[in-house]
A and B are shown apart, each in its own frame.
Chain A
Amino acid sequence: MSNVQPPITPDEIAAIIGTNTNNVFTTMLGLDVQAGPFDAASKLTEEDGKVVCLVSFTGKWNGSGSISCSGPLACAISGKLLMSEYETVNDDVLDAMGEMANMIIGNFKDEAAAALGALSLGTPTVIYGNNFQTRNWNGQSWIAVPFCCEGERFEVKICLVPSQDRNAK
């Protein structure tokens, strides 16, 4: 696990996540969500019946971002985004949640670039299932920010690690 700390504090990361996530929800879904207290030491997460979307980013700092929520909340979010109704998690829901992750993590990396330098975004990976765990390689902590949406928990997480060429000119 790296001891090198990024040039941005967990409070600043959580604030950027809070602002950008709210912006995506209000603009695309017409829903207002507010961030709850963040956890700067989130590691292993047990997932059951959840949709989890992961997006990597690379640059002088590498990392990944994720969004996660229950299947029913993913259906509700996707329904508002696509103006359709979904009772079960299907391809449309997985694709819509991938796009939500793309927008939330994409906006995060643009805002964080002022401190971290330019970052490139990967393609979202979307997982839906029961009884699985998510953790970072080498036990690296996430900064996890919870939101309350339609009475359920929606979580956004960011993990940052220094890249090997971080000091390259």
Chain B
Amino acid sequence: MALDVLIVDDSAAIRKILHRVLAQTDIALGDVLEAGDGVEALAVMESRKIGLVLSDINMPNMDGLQFLTSVRAKPEWNSIPVIMITTEGSQEKVMDAVQRGAQGYVRKPFTAEQIKEKISSCLGAQ
């Protein structure tokens, strides 16, 4: 079954790069949807069944950690894999994201291979 993926990042450049990386993976990809912040992302998730989320942390309106908390608070979204992709590299931020329920954490700058490996690992663990 094709997997709909949501990319959450306020940078159109990063959304474009991740879109391209996703197209290079061997997962059965459905639609790739985009949101510019956590508020937009929650609205997308209310209207579509999402199978994987790639999210930045530093964003306006609602940041990635607040968004992650909202996702995990809803039982029907609780098992959706969420991978954080961010410039935030401090141990505190990583631990915070993991404790809130992130399955993966990739620091920018990243290679396509790092993203692909993290996606495979998260989807394989389901």
Contact = CB atoms under 8 A, between A and B. Distances in A.
B86 to A, nearest CB: 8
Interface of A: 23-24, 27-28, 78, 81-83, 91-92, 95-96, 98-99, 102-103, 106-107, 110, 113, 118, 121, 123
Contact of A95 (B11, B20, B60, B108): B11
B123 interface: no
Contacts of A28: 109-110
A91 B12 CA distance: 10
B30 interface: no
A113 B109 contact: no
B13 A98 contact: yes
A24 B89 CA distance: 14
B35 to A, nearest CB: 16
Contacts of B92: 118
Contacts of B20: 83
B14 interface: yes
